[in-house]
Amino acid sequence: MNEFELPPIDYAALAPILIMMGAAVVGVLVEAFVPRRLRHPIQLPLALLAVLAALTMVVLNLDKRLITIGVIAIDGPTLFLQGAILVLSAVALLLIGERAIERGGAFVAQAAITADSPDDRRQAERAGGAGEVYPLVTFAVGGMLVFVSANDLLTMFIALEVFSLPLYLLCALARRRRLLSQEAAMKYFLLGAYASAFFLFGLALIYGFTGGLGDRPAGVDFATIHSAVANSTQSPVLLFAGMALVSIGLLFKAAAAPFHVWTPDVYQGAPTPVTGFMAACTKVAAFGALLRVFHVAFEGARWDFTPVLGVVAVLTMLIGAVFAVTQTDIKRLLAYSSIANAGYLLVGVLAPGRDGLSGTMFYLVAYGFAVLAAFAVVTLVRDADGEATHLSRWAGLGRRSPLYASVFTFILLAFAGIPLTSGFTSKFAVFAPALDGGQAWLVIAGVLTSMVLAFPYLRVVVMMWLSEPGDATPTVTVPGGLTSAALVIGVIATLVLGVAPAPLLDLANGAADFVR
Amino acid sequence: MDEILTYAQAAPAETVSYATADGLLSSVWLLVAIPLLSAAVLLLLGRRADRWGHWLGVAAVGAAFVLGLTYFLGLRGLENKSVQLSLWDFIAVGGLHVDFGLLFDPLAGVFVLLITGVGFLIHLYAVEYMAHDPGRRRFFAYFNLFVAAMLLLVLGNNYVMLYFGWEGVGLASYLLISFWNTRPAAATAGKKAFLMNRVGDAGLAIAIFIMFATLGTTQYDEVFNGVGALAGGTVLVLGLLLLLGAAGKSGQFPLQAWLPDAMEGPTPVSALIHAATMVTAGVYLIARSNIIFSANTTLQLVVVSVGALTLLMGAIIGCAKDDIKRVLAWSTVSQIGYMFLGVGLGGAAYALAIVHLLAHGFFKANMFLGAGSVMHGMKDQVDIRRFGGLSKYMKITWLTFAAGWVAIIGIIPFSGYFSKEPIVEAAFAREGWTAWLFGGAAVLGAGLTAFYMTRLFVLTFHGPKRWTTDIEHPHESPPLMTIPLILLAVGSLGGGALLATSVPDWLTATAGLAATEEHHTVLPHLAIFFLAQGVTVLGAVLGWYLFRNGTAIEPQPAGVVVTAARKNLYSDTVNEAVFEKPGIFLTRALVYLDNRGIDGLVNGLAAGVGGGSGRLRRLQTGFVRSYATSILTGALLVVAAFLAVQAGWLA
């Protein structure tokens, strides 16, 4: 008799992932079987509850440190990043679920119906807008949770696809400016598939490289790669080419130059709540994976990858900052700002030791809250044709609606890194360890580009406050409760993390231990 | 006779420590909180506060002054006259520790009194000056914001706090310069000030990072105690970066060009921010960091050179300007040059520079407000060629301006004599030929100052009337404007003697400004006195003689020197050629590449599209294929770079 014994699985540790995936499946069923009218009132609470439940499980798991369950690693960074993704996605869900600003919300159900046609209006009124967006978001969040906890490259690749595919679809769902939105989704999909191929090719090369370990079989789990970096007898060309290709796949998601080209188009074309979700949560996921790959798998080759990625970081900061100067569309401006921020985050990734790790994680959370609040304001500034994103339309907004202009000014000041905002503390948190680690050139580039970047931000501030409102200046819609909540959370987090960042920094620092 | 007593820096072995604030002094944070709260109220209440908002602004600064005075007197009984108050841990992670804390010592104390005292008078003046401006409430909100930020700057107990205040005053200054943003010149000037300040701020930020990297702290006491252990090169770099920051904020060479342009703002702004307080933040930074600067003689030489060069530049340009506020602005640049000269000389001259700073705060604020009063009566005319004979019409403005005039040129026994003369003497006390160089520059600067200030004074208040035709009878300003003028004039006349006798003693308790030692001047004390006074009188008499009969109302053909001075000694041209043009070119080139270049490589058709057309059209040029190409190029480069690293080519 062959007694087949299942390996013991710590289901509690996997619960956040299981909850999100389960909720997504339930969401699909709701879309299929529940009457149209009831879908939105069911889907939004369902998604939010799932996020909260997953978050609760993450908190309960806090004492479970440093364990691996097969292909999943539950350690400090996993829990911190999963928590970050869940909190930020909850805020993003508030934006996505908003139906008060525009009847039927920002999403389209049937792309064939033109915006503002009678059919479109009927659909918006009767059906409460499209509900597919919720399962897509929950699937994406589930994929991101796996992505940051993946313990081998193959799981990481699958998770990458799991959260990317819903994102491509989400980009195409904009109700207004639909062609822009669909074009953005198409571009994102093509280029994303392209980048995935690089990742997969790199994975294969790394697998070949680990074959040179005499005492253990080849594999793509991080422990094997880690020991192969030190001991493998295979040609190092395999390692370096593989490392380059894997990092390209990840840098694409992180929007680092020169793999950033999709970002402005996609950020502009996607529905604004989805843009906020991508800017906050996808950043966390992509940098979480980068941290794990470079701090665990390839750590032994630190002195080899640092100069190359350092150049990428400098280039990213430079391109983000310089291009932001000439942007005339607020969403594109924020896209370039997000690119520059990817550069600052890379500085943190390249800073050795736990200070670099914790600084990067802190930065991700701080930036996520600020960028969600920024896009929340963007959803509010609108005219009869939807959002007014051209910068010239924002002139004189301070006179029309001082409250929202002040909020946006505060967020821009945070992006510019003015002290007493999270932008200052988070830049500090990544630059200081980089300087300690002897990466002064990266810090100098960071400080200089952030000086450049302050200019476009302040240009918007000046435009809002010091210009007279013209006929074209749109009014700011009074936000519904959900957007207000998202906005308040984003602004308070930005302020608190700027004034008293110590608790979160401590938390990040305490979580900065990877399982190896 | 030829010896003067000087205060030198503390011996390196002596450690710097601050007591913890208790009792009355534990509420020192109120100094920052009160104006900040007032600014917040004014901004948040909006139009509802229009009727009484300005009085709230005045009251907030007045309250801060009274509090500041109380705290100042409270310091007297303390042993080392310095207390610090740690409010909360701002950043505490791993080895990093930044305190959100305040330090109140004699140096901070005199600054607090200057900022709130002179600030109060200028606020009072602005109530009337801005009476007809619809944005008066907003103006006072920014003004209060500035006062709060400036107080934070001087009260912080570490460099990060100083940086907060530093950015805050920069922001407030930017908002106030472009307050009249409908005037294109004001908007441009605001931008220029902002950008040039960023250059200096970058220096300060990098200096703070270096402190973290080498000393692991930014607390003043810990930094000062640790500087002795640093390598000479590190101290030099640190000091030069701090100097860059100071030069940006204080309008010193090579970042001086923004300050005169900043005069586009309302006159009270020029008086408070761009004459009395903010522009002296650089002097404060160097005086506060005196232990760093004293640790390296090369550094001191650089500071002295910057000061001497700027004081001469400012004075020369001041002689050739015709805009009353610009003359005063260049005069400010020049006078701050004296202060830099003072702090660069080190030792006792630190205290002397602070004395000059305080005295200058009084007489320059006085003259700016006087200029505002003149403009008020002359329908906002600023060209001194169109003034003349105003002494009969504006008696109070005339007399108070005269007080400022005799004070700034440094005639005995007015305040400039007591504050500037010691700096001249200290310059002569250097060793070797540099004593002659810097002493000579200081004396020459004094003569030029006398000349251009006399020119300004005579052309404005005396000589024939050269008014524009729309003015018949200029009127004196109302009491709310003249009372601050009178008070400041009294300060200008008598303040110097008072300050010169009391402040240096006070400042000895400030870290690093303690012990005394003796220095020899290369000339006898009496000879320097007669030389400086003689040159000053000569400059004043020459100014009076040349301009007693007025001047032409159109620009006259002039020689090389005057033309150069009219063009700000070509500093703008240099800035434009060195910074602006390449920056614009770089941006344009990159945008061109983005819009056309990459597409053009892939498909010639796309090259024609793009540019500044509408959003939709521009998006069409973003072909996926060109994106994919650039990703592929990037990928090839990254792989190649990794392989190159592996092959050791980059090692």
pLDDT tens-digit profile of A334-357?
999 999 999 999 999 999 888 899
**Same domain assignment for residues B61 and B180:** yes
Q: Which residues of A touch B646 (CB under 8 A)?
A: 236-237, 239-240, 304
**A257 → chain B, closest CA residue:** B634
Integer angstrom CA distances of residue A376 from A364, A482, B5, B263, B322: 18, 10, 65, 39, 51
B58 with B120: CB under 8 angstroms?
A: yes
The domain in which residue B272 lies consists of 3-547
Interface of B with A in 11-50 (CB under 8 A): 46
Point out the residues of chain A with pLDDT beneath 50: none
Nearest by CB to residue A194, choosing from B88, B198, B628, is B628
**Same domain assignment for residues B434 and B483:** yes
Closest of B27, B106, B144 to residue B499, by C-alpha: B106
DSSP string, B59-104: HHHHHHHHHHHHHHHHTTTSSSS-EEEEEEEEEEETTEEEEEEEEE
Contact check, Cβ <8 Å, A304/B645 = yes
Domain boundary among B532, B547, B562: B547
SS3 A152: strand
Number of domains into which chain A is organized: 1
Q: Determine, yes or no, domain membership for B285.
A: yes
Q: Determine, yes or no, domain membership for B552.
A: no
B589 touches chain A (CB under 8 A): no
Mutate to test the interface with B, among A328, A462, A513 (most CBs of B within 10 A): A462
B180 touches chain A (CB under 8 A): no
Q: Which residues of B touch A357 (CB under 8 A)?
A: none
Mutate to test the interface with B, among A237, A240, A363 (most CBs of B within 10 A): A240
Q: Determine, yes or no, domain membership for B252.
A: yes
- Do you know the residue count of chain A? 516
**Same domain assignment for residues B634 and B537:** no
Q: Determine, yes or no, domain membership for B570.
A: no
Domain boundary among B547, B566, B597: B547
B633 touches chain A (CB under 8 A): yes
B331 with B408: CB under 8 angstroms?
A: yes
B365 with B125: CB under 8 angstroms?
A: no
pLDDT for B230: 81
- What whole-number distance in Å separates Cα of residue B243 and Cα of residue A482? 50
**Preceding omega of A258 cis (within 30 degrees of 0):** yes
pLDDT for B613: 31
Structure tokens at B530: 């007669």
B229 touches chain A (CB under 8 A): no
The domain in which residue A126 lies consists of 11-510
- What whole-number distance in Å separates Cα of residue A500 and Cα of residue B562? 55
Q: Which residues of A touch B631 (CB under 8 A)?
A: 191, 194-195, 252, 258-259, 261
**Same domain assignment for residues B509 and B373:** yes
Q: Determine, yes or no, domain membership for A516.
A: no
B1 with B512: CB under 8 angstroms?
A: no
Q: Which residues of B touch A420 (CB under 8 A)?
A: 164
Nearest by CB to residue B646, choosing from A237, A468, A509, is A237
Mutate to test the interface with B, among A261, A265, A268 (most CBs of B within 10 A): A261
B627 touches chain A (CB under 8 A): yes
Integer angstrom CA distances of residue B146 from A65, A346, B125, B337: 49, 36, 16, 23
**A356 → chain B, closest CA residue:** B94
**Same domain assignment for residues B593 and B506:** no
Closest of A270, A261, A409, A269 to residue A336, by C-alpha: A261
Q: Determine, yes or no, domain membership for A4.
A: no
Contact check, Cβ <8 Å, B181/A467 = yes
Q: Determine, yes or no, domain membership for B555.
A: no
Q: Determine, yes or no, domain membership for A515.
A: no
Q: Which residues of A touch B95 (CB under 8 A)?
A: 355, 436
**Same domain assignment for residues B523 and B629:** no
Q: Determine, yes or no, domain membership for B560.
A: no
Q: Tell me the average confidence (pLDDT) per consecutive run of 10 residues in chain B, 651 residues long.
A: 38 61 76 88 79 86 90 76 74 66 85 88 85 83 89 89 86 78 71 75 85 82 83 85 88 79 80 80 88 84 89 86 86 89 80 85 86 83 79 85 87 81 84 83 89 87 78 78 85 76 73 56 78 86 81 68 68 63 56 44 31 36 76 87 77 50
B278 with B169: CB under 8 angstroms?
A: yes
Contact check, Cβ <8 Å, A447/B46 = no
Q: Determine, yes or no, domain membership for A428.
A: yes
pLDDT for B560: 67
Structure tokens at A103: 């009847």
Distance from CA of B217 to the nearest CA of A (A): 11
**Same domain assignment for residues B251 and B335:** yes
Nearest by CB to residue B639, choosing from A244, A264, A440, is A244
Q: Determine, yes or no, domain membership for A6.
A: no
Contact check, Cβ <8 Å, A420/B164 = yes
Q: Determine, yes or no, domain membership for B561.
A: no
**B631 → chain A, closest CA residue:** A259
**B160 → chain A, closest CA residue:** A419
**Same domain assignment for residues B375 and B490:** yes
Structure tokens at A135: 């399962």
**Preceding omega of B254 cis (within 30 degrees of 0):** yes
What is the radius of gyration, based on Cα positions, of chain B?
Answer: 27
pLDDT for A274: 94
In chain B, what are the helix, strand and coil shares in percent, each to the nearest 5?
75, 5, 20
- In DSSP terms, B103 is beta-bridged to B84
Q: A290 CB contacts (<8 Å, ≥6 apart)?
A: A247, A250, A251, A254, A346, A349
pTM for this entry:
0.61
B35 with B147: CB under 8 angstroms?
A: yes
State the count of interchain CB pairs (< 8 A) between A and B. 158
Closest of A113, A275, A87 to residue A181, by C-alpha: A275
Interface of B with A in 44-73 (CB under 8 A): 46
**Same domain assignment for residues B393 and B320:** yes
Residues A258-303 have pLDDT tens digits of: 898 899 999 999 999 999 999 999 999 999 999 999 999 998 888 8
**Same domain assignment for residues B603 and B476:** no
**Distant-in-sequence contacts of B38-47, Cβ < 8 A, 24+ apart:** B38/B141, B38/B144, B39/B141, B39/B142, B39/B144, B39/B145, B39/B148, B42/B137, B42/B138, B42/B140, B42/B141, B42/B144, B43/B138, B43/B141, B46/A402, B47/B137
DSSP B46: G
Closest of A393, A400, A252 to residue A333, by C-alpha: A393
Number of domains into which chain B is organized: 2
Question: What is the residue type of B518?
Answer: E
pLDDT for B621: 52
Q: What percent of chain A has pLDDT over 90?
A: 49
- What whole-number distance in Å separates Cα of residue B255 and Cα of residue B378? 33
Structure tokens at B180: 């009249």
**B198 → chain A, closest CA residue:** A451
Q: Determine, yes or no, domain membership for A311.
A: yes
**Same domain assignment for residues B194 and B290:** yes
**A434 → chain B, closest CA residue:** B213
- What whole-number distance in Å separates Cα of residue A99 and Cα of residue B357? 60
